[in-house]
Amino acid sequence: MTADVYFMDLEATSKENLPEKLLRLVKKTGLAQRLDKNDLTAVKIHFGEQGNTAYIRPVFIRKIILAIKECGASPFLTDANTLYLGTRSDSVSHIHTAIENGFSYSSMDSTPIIIADGLRGKNETAVMVGQKNCEHVYIGSEIINSDSLVSVAHFKGHELSGFGGTLKNLGMGCASRRGKLDQHSNVSPKIKRKTCIGCRECENHCPSQAIYLKENKLKEKKAYIDKTKCIGCAECIVRCPTESVNINWNQTVPVFLEKMMEYTLGVLKDKKNKTLFINFITDIAPKCDCLPYSEAPIVNNVGVLASTDPVAIDQAGADLVNQQQALPNTSLKTNHKPGEDKFKGLYPSVDWEHQLDYAESLSLGTRKYKLIKLKTLAYKKS
């Protein structure tokens, strides 16, 4: 089986600007057949951390929203809160950051932002997937409650998965805080006792009384975690004022990638034929938009992909990036020529293909695709 992946390059003319071309791409991919009238449609995007500049421009997101509204559906913009302390770790700061980055109610055609996992990342739904790494996955409830889902991902490099595209936007991006910790680690967080000031913030907010304070030889109170009681909710990570509670990075990369795909399976489980996936292959930074800065892009802007297959669209995205000549003076130091693997060049120890292979084995989609290029409309005669 081969999946259709639609592609628009970034050539605009006086006949059709890029937002209009994007609208044509989205319609061509069959958006109208995926949404029903009155659907509450989750538009899963990444609003960008404060200071990040590589996230998708709001003007394009607005166009996608208009296309969804044309189908009679009611879209809302969404993402889930972060695992770490930053400018998107609770719904209040998350929405402030989104507005600062250009995703306001007015600029998004009166479309609300609803953070999928609630005020503090605890509004989650456990979805049974019964796979080799996860029996259940923990997804932001408003993603599960939505009738249909349009994922709009920024395709770029990523430190843990080689690249981040649609599959990561779904698997990691829709997971609640507990779900995110579950993917990164198979044990509880760890405490850096050197910087712990014994303030008890973590202890006071731990839902399972897993944290306790104990005096050390210098009579200083320091926090400890009882692993037998910890449920991995990650609340302590975001509560600690000195960033002394951290993720235990003990997951191997292949297991991390597999868990992320099992989470993607959970997100899509009840959304058969109710999804559309879009990858923006623009501002292709080497690292995630979760960082409060963006490094120089590793290749020139390529274009936008749209598909109903989440595996095929990421395979096509990786292929298109790898076909490019790398730009000079970026953090990509090897594999500059067209055809060379840019993601391996950035992260040699990450086998990014494993996520696609594993996703395929879960029947999430196929790595085989047909690239259908949108024609550029001719210039208007003056």
Contacting positions for ligand SF4 (CB under 6 A): 188-189, 191, 196-202, 206-208, 210-211, 223, 225, 230-236, 239-240, 242, 244-245
Q: How far apart are CA 91 and CA 238, in angstroms?
A: 13
Which is nearer to ligand SF4, 246 or 335 (by Cβ)? 246
Q: Is 333 buried (19+), middle (13-18) or exposed (0-12) by CB count in 10 A?
A: exposed
Q: Could you tell me the smallest distance in angstroms from the CB atom of residue 239 to ligand SF4?
A: 6
For residues 228 and 288, the answer to whether their CB atoms sit within 8 Å is no
Neighbours of 376 (CB within 10 A): 15
Which is nearer to ligand SF4, 216 or 242 (by Cβ)? 242
Which is nearer to ligand SF4, 156 or 184 (by Cβ)? 184
Degrees to nearest 5, angle at CA 320 with 374 and 3: 60
Cα(first)–Cα(last) distance of the chain, in Å? 46
Q: Could you tell me the smallest distance in angstroms from the CB atom of residue 259 to ligand SF4?
A: 17
Q: Could you tell me the smallest distance in angstroms from the CB atom of residue 200 to ligand SF4?
A: 5
User: What stretches of 240-338 show up as alpha helix (H) in DSSP?
Assistant: 253-268, 310-322
Could you identify the residue written with the tokens 């953090």? 331
Q: Could you tell me the smallest distance in angstroms from the CB atom of residue 204 to ligand SF4?
A: 8
Reported as type and span, the H/E element at residue 138 is: strand 136-140
Which is nearer to ligand SF4, 25 or 233 (by Cβ)? 233
Q: Could you tell me the smallest distance in angstroms from the CB atom of residue 224 to ligand SF4?
A: 9
Partners of 213 in the β-ladder:
223
Which is nearer to ligand SF4, 1 or 218 (by Cβ)? 218
Which is nearer to ligand SF4, 102 or 198 (by Cβ)? 198
Length of the chain (residues):
382
Q: How far apart are CA 53 and CA 295, in angstroms?
A: 9
Q: How far apart are CA 125 and CA 174, in angstroms?
A: 11
Q: Could you tell me the smallest distance in angstroms from the CB atom of residue 124 to ligand SF4?
A: 13
Could you identify the residue written with the tokens 């796979």? 131
Which is nearer to ligand SF4, 205 or 344 (by Cβ)? 205
Q: How far apart are CA 108 and CA 116, in angstroms?
A: 18
Residue 152: what residue type? V
Which is nearer to ligand SF4, 194 or 380 (by Cβ)? 194
Q: Could you tell me the smallest distance in angstroms from the CB atom of residue 223 to ligand SF4?
A: 4
Q: Could you tell me the smallest distance in angstroms from the CB atom of residue 222 to ligand SF4?
A: 7
Could you identify the residue written with the tokens 């404060």? 50
Q: Could you tell me the smallest distance in angstroms from the CB atom of residue 50 to ligand SF4?
A: 23
Q: Could you tell me the smallest distance in angstroms from the CB atom of residue 297 to ligand SF4?
A: 36
Neighbours of 252 (CB within 10 A): 9
Degrees to nearest 5, angle at CA 363 with 361 and 366: 85
Using DSSP's 3-state secondary structure scheme, residue 207 falls into coil
Q: How far apart are CA 371 and CA 215, in angstroms?
A: 63
Provide φ and ψ at 266, rounded to 5°. Answer: -65, -40
Which is nearer to ligand SF4, 236 or 306 (by Cβ)? 236
Which is nearer to ligand SF4, 18 or 139 (by Cβ)? 139
